[in-house]
């Protein structure tokens, strides 16, 4: 009892003394954000404030970072742990999607450390890793903090665990690593995910470039969208069972949005969920039996594989007509898949692939980037 | 004379392991460098400095705390339950902590997870879980006099809890799930100084309280009736045992995950070394040998291969499990329980 | 040595709602032995536990020199009453004899259980007097039942209390060891202790006890001086079996 009280006292004491006073000019230029819900940026001239927000509730700020241009000597009172001097020279990243954004900005050479280098797809980047120019930061499945500290990057791009309270901020900030939580994967809109390129651009002080790149992505994406706006919408479903459970994207999820933009009808598009959830095989056999297209049967390389995993799939129309498409057109020697690397920064290419699958008559001459039909 | 030698060798070993553990890591830092960092001659912002002061030192201090505290909890439980295989992990106490922590960690955005009290909520959950499990074990311990039966009950209950945790995992997000799975591997490296400032005094208080229990625990070796006839207030001691073990198991489990086998194996080792049942000697012996073994296990997670970091529980289980089997065989054969 | 008196006044004993005996009366002086006699299940152990303070009486009270036993502070009571319980199952077998004896000084020591010169002196005196000094370093599991029983009686002596209660001190012992233990009890009483001994060894108890409390499973009980109980034939009538009867003149059970 006494011990519990003691913990409480220590905590209350620690919390009460923790107010930081922020002093900076109030003339700010907000950076326009059209699709993304997970971040907000304001340019104060000498520095940029980057706020990472809760995607589900954009009024909730989870993290705040101060991106100070040059040495930024005048802003000594900004909290040191969240201050990053830009442009950054050497960065570390933990997700392959981050590499996609860096490549889109032409800044992939600033990558000095990465967690899981064997999953890198881009040849040039993987070669640098093989030559030791990019430090492997993972030991087994875990981030090796000693190697990270020794690398001493200007910033570490990491990802959220999905629950803000348990993202391990304390340990990294104690180690004086400037850790920035990138949660682009939580956006429910492909363009919203791609808009995170602005966040990466800010770190290289190339906000204008970032905006231009994003504008061209939006342009290309919406143009493609218009080509199928009035086409007939074929039914489609996704996934593959694992140990008897079939995980499907919610009707309001990022994946469902892609399918709808590509002029297809996702069979569970009436669903209101934004996240993936498991359903039984029976549900699939009942709902998807006549759907002409089947996407993302991840884990199966051939129709024989599918039957091994779930023999009842033989009743599905997409199976008998061999209309199964996987996003494994570009896979590196060690299993790195370009879809998980550059697709987030290039939603227009994904959309082009999907339209090619659903409406070959619209763009018969376009090449496939990420998707390919399962042919065995 | 023999006794003094054991303590001196133990202290020397502890010091050697302490220094060795500071020297081992993925990044090479020489002893000379370590010395100049510790004496403040090297820049505090140099990478080597940060690695040592914010990475390795907190990890080693956490090993000291966990290594000292878990065997103390194990010893108390073994004496109180009169069972050689009692321990925080074996009887499912850690599993109980794990269940409550899982509820807090995997149910995001609920009443449990207020952002600013995340540390506190995990600690509170872990202690509450340990408390909950202890009460259940206590309620059946009277009926399960056979040590193996109680052990079996603890394992079965632990399995039931794992199943519940599994269900929770099934409905939770991938990121939180991975975090939880990592947590169950056990780790000493996740703690920061502010967390240690919280952990250390609480655990020290619990250990100090355990020392206060040494006299009644010694008397309890003669059975509850004899103990009561010699002035022990059994109910008071029972409450003390529960609070003490719940706080130790809960705190350590919250920060380091459910560390396996240290709590059960080290008290037996201490008994073998000290050749006594006297808790006034066993407590310090448990603390000393517990720290040495914890530091040793921590080094083994880093040493093999060099590049990979093994899960702590893999190392403690490989060392501890055969030892516990040996204890079981011995206690059966010789008809003496500890 | 001053004389003390253990007084059992209108005590009811039992467990839960079940009352085994009510209105038990007895009084024992320093130097006397009270034998509690009865067959299995007659409530002997419960009475011993109640007198010792381990269990509460359902009614009535027990007092030592007018001081009520059950309201005493646990540690104070431990300085007044010590017990020798049946068997040794409840004691951890790897305990050494000296550890068992040392623990008995608990009521007199502080939280750290540091033994003073006095404590050590009593310990070695008792060990010598009871003849167990040669196996002080042995573990309990290495002792025979007779040796172990002596150790537990020595433990009670080390606790240095005016009252010593014993519950079946001679079960599992052979005939020679039994007489040894009763001889020891007689010597202890001669030192001025109050002894209450529950046993079903009626023959042995009658030789050493000044008073006997006879208990029967149905709730009947009789208290009396040993000589009176034998002469009046009470013993003969209480312990009558189809194959055995108590012979008043030879003071032995005779098989027929």
pLDDT over threshold 80, residue A11: no
- DSSP letters along B4-44, please? HHHHHHHHHHHHHHHHHHHH-SSS---HHHHHHHHTT-S-T
ipTM: 0.92
Burial class of residue B143, CB neighbours in 10 A (0-12, 13-18, 19+): exposed
Looking at residues B307-334, what average pLDDT do you find?
A: 77
Calculate how close chain B gets to C144, using CA atoms only, in Å.
15
B114-129 burial code (b ≥16 CB/10 A, e <16): eeebbbbbbbbbbbbb
pLDDT for res A201: 95
Task: State residue A3's pLDDT score.
Answer: 45
* Contact assessment for residue A91 and residue A155, using Cβ atoms and an 8 Å cutoff: yes
Q: Tell me which of C106, C110, C142, C161 to substitute to probe the interface with B (most B C-beta atoms closer than 10 Å).
A: C106
Q: Degrees (nearest 5) of the Cα angle C140, C141, C147? A: 60
Contact criterion met (CB below 8 Å) for B84 and B222: no
Can you read off the two tokens belonging to residue B298? 């921590």
Strands (E) across chain C are located at: 5-15, 18-29, 33-37, 59-64, 67-68, 81-84, 163-167, 194-199, 211-215, 221-225, 244-247, 252-255
* Neighboring chain B residues of A153 at a CB cutoff of 8 Å: none
Q: How far apart are CA A197 and CA C242, in angstroms?
A: 103
d(CA B15, CA A289): 69
Least confident of A135-144, A304-313, B17-26: A135-144
Minimum mean pLDDT among A45-49, A120-124, A348-352, C161-165: which range? A45-49
Q: Which residues contact A320 (CB under 8 A, 6 or more apart)?
A: A314
- B211 vs C1: CA distance, rounded Å: 39
Which of B82, B209, B230 to mutate against chain C (most C CBs within 10 Å)?
Answer: B230
Stretch (H or E) spanning A180: strand A179-182
Segment B186-190 shows an average pLDDT of 79
For residues A233-237, average pLDDT: 92
For the cut 80, the answer to whether the pLDDT of residue A230 exceeds it is: yes
Q: How far apart are the C-alpha atoms of C22 and C219, rounded to whole Å?
A: 7
CA atoms of C256 and C245, how far apart (whole Å): 8
Looking at the predicted structure, is the pLDDT value of residue B116 above 50?
no
Query: What are the pLDDT digits (tens) for B209-251?
Result: 999 999 999 999 999 899 999 999 988 888 888 889 889 988 8
Q: CB–CB of B231 and C53 under 8 A?
A: no
Min distance A134 CA to chain B CA atoms (Å): 16
Helical pair B57-80 and B2-23, crossing angle rounded to 10 deg = 140
Task: State mean pLDDT over A214-232.
Answer: 91
Residue A6 token pair: 């003691």
Label residue A140 exposed, middle or buried (CB < 10 Å: 0-12, 13-18, 19+): exposed
For residue C246, give both structure tokens: 């108590």
For residue A198, which of A108, A84, A105, A86 has the smallest C-alpha distance? A105
For residue B57, what pLDDT is reported?
92
Per DSSP, what are the bridge partners of residue A54? A57
Q: Is B3 on the interface with C (CB under 8 A)?
A: no
Task: Say what the pLDDT of residue A245 is.
Answer: 77
Identify whether the C-beta of residue C209 lies closer than 8 Å to the C-beta of residue C198: no
Give yes or no for residue A232 having a pLDDT over 70: yes
- On chain B, the residues whose CB falls within 8 A of the CB of C76 are 231
Judge: A170–B192 Cβ closer than 8 Å, yes or no: yes
At A73 the pLDDT is: 60
**Separation between Cα atoms, residue A33 and residue C71, nearest integer Å:** 78
Question: In this complex, do C100 and B222 lie within 8 Å of one another by their Cβ atoms?
Answer: yes
Verify cis geometry, omega within 30 degrees of 0, for the bond prior to A87.
yes
What pTM does this model have? 0.82
**DSSP secondary-structure letter at A174?**
H
Chain B window 15-74: which residues touch A at a Cβ cutoff of 8 Å?
25-27, 45, 47-48, 50-51, 54-56, 58
- B130, B253 contact by CB (below 8 A): yes
Chain B residues inside the 8 Å CB shell of C91: 221-223, 226
Percent of chain B with pLDDT over 70: 85
Name the minimum distance, in Å, from the CA of A227 to any CA of chain B.
36
CB contact under 8 A, B228 and C74: yes
Provide the chain B residues 192-231 that lie in CB contact (below 8 A) with chain A: 192-195, 197-198, 201-202, 205-206
Predicted local distance difference test score (pLDDT) of residue A15: 42
List, for residues A104-149, the tens digit of each pLDDT value.
999 999 999 998 888 899 999 999 999 989 998 887 767 888 889 9
Mean pLDDT of A222-242: 88
Burial, C54: exposed, middle or buried (Cβ in 10 Å; 0-12, 13-18, 19+)? Answer: buried
What is the per-residue pLDDT across A67-102, written as a single tens digit (0 to 9) for each? 988 876 656 677 777 888 889 999 999 999 999 999
**Touching check for B212 and chain C: CB below 8 Å?**
yes
Beta carbons within 8 Å of B157's beta carbon, 6+ residues apart:
B92, B95, B133, B136, B137
List pLDDT tens digits, range B297-315: 999 887 655 566 778 888 8
Pairing mode of beta strands C67-68, C59-64: antiparallel
Diameter of chain B by CA atoms? 63
- Run means of pLDDT, 10 residues per run, chain C, 256 residues: 86 86 92 91 90 90 90 92 89 91 93 90 93 91 90 94 93 87 92 93 89 89 90 87 84 82
Contact B82 C92 (CB under 8 A): yes
* Predicted pLDDT at B98: 81
Q: Looking at CA atoms only, how far is residue B58 from chain A in angstroms?
A: 10
Cα–Cα dist A374/A297, whole Å: 9
Nearest to B205 among A3, A14, A150 (CB): A3
CB atoms near residue C74 (< 10 Å): 16
* Angle in degrees, 0-180, between the axes of helices B262-274 and B2-23, rounded to the nearest 10: 140
Which pLDDT belongs to residue B117? 43
Window 250-269 of B: residues touching A by CB (8 A cutoff) are: none
Cα–Cα distance, A177 to B166 (Å, whole number): 34
For CA atoms A206, A115, A143, A61, the dihedral sign is: positive
Gap from B195 CA to chain A (nearest CA, Å): 9
> What is the pLDDT of chain B when averaged over all its residues?
82
Q: Is the pLDDT of residue A213 over 80?
A: yes
pLDDT higher at B11 or B239? B11
Q: What is the mean pLDDT of residues B144-161?
A: 75
Please answer yes or no on whether B230 and C141 come within 8 Å at the CB atom.
no
Shortest Cα–Cα distance, C82 to chain B (Å):
6
Which residues in B lie closer than 8 A to residue A162 (C-beta atoms)?
108, 173-176
User: CA torsion B79→B85→B89→B94, rounded to 10°?
Assistant: -50
Contact list in B for residue C148 (CB cut-off 8 A) is none
């Amino acid at each position: 009892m006494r011990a519990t009280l003691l913990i409480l006292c220590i905590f209350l004491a620690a919390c009460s003394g923790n107010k930081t006073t922020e002093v900076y000019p109030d003339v700010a230029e907000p950076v326009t954000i059209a699709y993304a819900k997970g971040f907000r940026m304001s340019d104060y001239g000498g520095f940029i404030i980057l706020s990472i927000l809760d995607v589900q509730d954009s009024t909730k700020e989870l993290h705040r970072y101060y991106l100070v241009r040059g040495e930024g000597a005048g802003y000594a009172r900004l909290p040191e742990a969240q201050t990053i001097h830009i442009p950054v020279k050497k960065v570390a990243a933990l997700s392959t999607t981050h590499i996609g954004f860096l490549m889109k900005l032409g800044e992939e050479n600033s990558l000095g450390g990465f967690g899981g280098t064997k999953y890198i797809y881009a040849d040039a980047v993987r070669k640098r890793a093989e030559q030791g120019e990019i430090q492997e930061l993972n030991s087994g499945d875990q981030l090796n903090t000693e190697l990270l500290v020794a690398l001493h990057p200007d910033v570490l791009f990491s990802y959220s665990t999905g629950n803000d309270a348990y993202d391990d901020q304390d340990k990294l900030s104690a180690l004086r690593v400037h850790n920035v939580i990138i949660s682009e994967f939580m956006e429910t809109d492909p363009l919203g995910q791609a808009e995170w390129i602005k966040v990466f651009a800010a770190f290289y002080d190339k906000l204008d470039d970032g905006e231009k790149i994003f504008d061209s992505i939006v342009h290309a994406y919406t143009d493609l969208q218009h080509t199928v706006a009035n086409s007939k919408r074929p039914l489609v479903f996704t996934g593959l069972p694992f140990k008897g459970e079939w995980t499907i994207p919610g009707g309001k999820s990022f994946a469902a949005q892609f399918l709808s933009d590509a002029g297809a009808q996702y069979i569970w598009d009436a669903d209101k969920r934004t996240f993936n959830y498991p359903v039984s095989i029976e549900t699939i056999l009942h709902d998807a039996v006549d759907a002409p297209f089947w996407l993302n049967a991840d884990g199966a390389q051939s129709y024989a594989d599918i039957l091994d995993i779930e023999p009842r799939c033989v009743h599905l129309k997409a199976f008998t007509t061999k209309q199964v498409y996987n996003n494994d057109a570009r896979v590196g020697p060690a299993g790195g898949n370009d879809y998980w690397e550059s697709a987030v920064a290039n939603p227009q290419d994904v959309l082009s692939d999907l339209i090619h699958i659903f409406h070959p008559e619209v763009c018969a001459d376009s090449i496939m980037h990420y998707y390919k039909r399962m042919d065995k | 004379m023999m006794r003094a030698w054991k303590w001196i060798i133990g202290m020397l070993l502890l010091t050697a392991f302490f220094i060795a553990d500071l020297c081992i890591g993925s990044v090479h830092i020489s002893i000379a460098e370590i010395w100049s960092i510790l004496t403040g001659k090297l820049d505090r912002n140099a990478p080597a400095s940060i690695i040592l002061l914010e990475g390795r030192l907190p990890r080693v201090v956490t090993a000291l705390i966990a290594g000292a505290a878990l065997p103390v909890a194990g010893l108390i439980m073994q004496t109180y339950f009169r069972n050689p295989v009692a321990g925080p992990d074996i009887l499912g106490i850690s599993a109980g902590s794990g269940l409550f922590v899982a509820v807090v960690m995997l149910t995001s955005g609920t009443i449990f997870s207020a952002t600013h009290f995340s540390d506190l909520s995990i600690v509170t959950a872990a202690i509450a879980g340990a408390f909950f499990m202890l009460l259940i074990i206590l309620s059946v311990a009277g009926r399960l006099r056979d040590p193996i039966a109680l052990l079996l009950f603890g394992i079965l209950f632990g399995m039931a809890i794992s199943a519940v945790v599994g269900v929770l995992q099934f409905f939770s997000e991938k990121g939180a799930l991975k975090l939880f799975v990592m947590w169950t591997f056990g780790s000493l490296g996740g703690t920061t100084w502010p967390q240690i400032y919280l952990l250390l005094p609480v655990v020290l208080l619990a250990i100090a309280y355990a020392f206060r229990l040494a006299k009644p625990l010694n008397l309890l070796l003669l059975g509850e009736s004899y103990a009561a006839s010699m002035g022990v207030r059994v109910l008071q001691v029972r409450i003390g045992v529960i609070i003490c073990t719940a706080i130790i198991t809960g705190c350590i489990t919250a920060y380091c995950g459910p560390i396996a086998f240290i709590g059960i194996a080290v008290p037996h080792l201490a008994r073998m070394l000290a050749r006594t049942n006297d808790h006034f000697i066993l407590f310090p012996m448990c603390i000393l040998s517990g720290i040495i073994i914890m530091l040793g296990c921590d080094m083994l997670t880093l040493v093999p291969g060099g590049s990979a970091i093994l899960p702590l529980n893999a190392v403690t289980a490989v060392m501890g499990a055969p030892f516990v089997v040996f204890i079981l065989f011995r206690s059966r054969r010789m008809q003496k329980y500890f | 040595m001053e004389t003390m008196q253990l007084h059992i006044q209108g005590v009811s004993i039992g467990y839960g709602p079940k009352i085994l005996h009510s209105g038990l009366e007895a009084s024992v002086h320093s130097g006397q032995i009270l034998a509690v006699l009865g067959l299995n299940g007659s409530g002997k152990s419960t009475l011993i536990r109640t007198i010792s303070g381990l269990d509460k009486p359902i009614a009535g009270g027990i007092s030592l020199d007018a001081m009520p036993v059950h309201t005493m502070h646990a540690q104070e009571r431990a300085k007044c009453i010590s017990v020798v319980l049946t068997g040794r199952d409840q004691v951890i077998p790897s305990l050494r004899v000296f550890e068992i004896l040392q623990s008995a000084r608990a009521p007199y020591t502080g939280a750290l259980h540091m033994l003073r010169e006095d404590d050590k002196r009593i310990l070695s005196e008792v060990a010598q007097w009871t003849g167990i000094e040669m196996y002080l370093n042995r573990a309990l599991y290495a002792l025979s039942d007779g040796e172990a029983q002596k150790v537990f009686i020595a433990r009670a002596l080390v606790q240095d209390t005016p009252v010593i209660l014993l519950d079946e001190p001679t079960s599992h012992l052979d005939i020679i060891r039994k007489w040894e233990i009763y001889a020891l009890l007689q010597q202890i009483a001669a030192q001025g202790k109050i002894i209450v001994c529950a046993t079903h060894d009626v023959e042995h108890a009658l030789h050493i006890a000044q008073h006997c409390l006879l208990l029967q499973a149905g709730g009947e009980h009789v208290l009396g001086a040993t000589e009176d109980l034998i002469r009046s034939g009470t013993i003969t009538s209480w312990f009558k079996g189809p194959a055995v009867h108590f012979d008043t003149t030879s003071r032995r059970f005779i098989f027929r």
